[in-house]
């Protein structure tokens, strides 16, 4: 076998190997990030409207993508301070979590998140910006 033929075979084998690595490497890298890229688009769009007053007591400050399957909603409770003694924070957290889970499970606008098995994390601060609590909800199995 002459050197020209060996070089062509080597080049063909090298091309196939490089193509396979590039193809499968790209597929691997982007398959895990497709949700994250889409979530980043969603967060960017929502953040254009933030801060957004939801009701007289609640404001959505921003959204952020925590990882490829978690989006976080950052809220402020406008009439509550961390030191309030009349607020039962565990009951408030439980109530908000139940309402959020129900909305997630039944709202047609949440279909994308349910299909993609996206976790929604809710982060709450008081009227002074002090952390109160957070929780996460997942699509029901």
Mean pLDDT split into 10-residue runs, the chain, 141 residues: 50 44 39 76 93 93 94 94 84 94 92 93 95 92 57
In a domain, 26, yes or no: no
Q: What is the total count of domains within the chain? A: 1
Give pLDDT, residue 1.
60
Give pLDDT, residue 30.
41
Give pLDDT, residue 9.
52
Distance in angstroms (rounded) separating the CA atoms of residues 109 and 127: 29
Nearest to 139 by CA among 71, 52, 75, 93: 71
In a domain, 91, yes or no: yes
Give pLDDT, residue 86.
83
DSSP label at residue 78: T
Distance in angstroms (rounded) separating the CA atoms of residues 125 and 60: 10
Give pLDDT, residue 6.
45
Give pLDDT, residue 84.
79
Give pLDDT, residue 77.
94
Q: For the whole model, what pTM was predicted?
A: 0.73
In a domain, 78, yes or no: yes
Range of the domain at 44: 34-137
Q: List the CATH number of the domain containing 49.
A: 3.30.300.250
Give pLDDT, residue 3.
52
In a domain, 17, yes or no: no
Give pLDDT, residue 44.
94
């Amino acid at each position: 076998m002459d050197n020209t033929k060996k070089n062509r075979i080597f080049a063909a084998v090298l091309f196939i190997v490089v193509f396979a690595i590039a193809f499968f490497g790209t597929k691997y890298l982007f398959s895990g990030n497709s949700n994250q890229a889409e979530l980043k688009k969603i967060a960017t769009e929502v953040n254009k409207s933030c801060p957004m007053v939801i009701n007289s007591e609640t404001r959505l400050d921003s959204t952020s993508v925590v990882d490829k399957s978690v989006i976080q909603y950052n809220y402020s409770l406008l009439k509550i301070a961390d030191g309030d003694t009349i607020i039962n924070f565990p009951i408030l957290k439980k109530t908000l979590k139940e309402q959020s889970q129900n909305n997630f499970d039944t709202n047609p606008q949440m279909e994308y998140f349910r299909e993609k098995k996206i976790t929604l994390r809710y982060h709450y601060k008081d009227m002074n910006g002090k952390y109160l609590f957070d929780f996460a909800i997942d699509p029901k199995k």
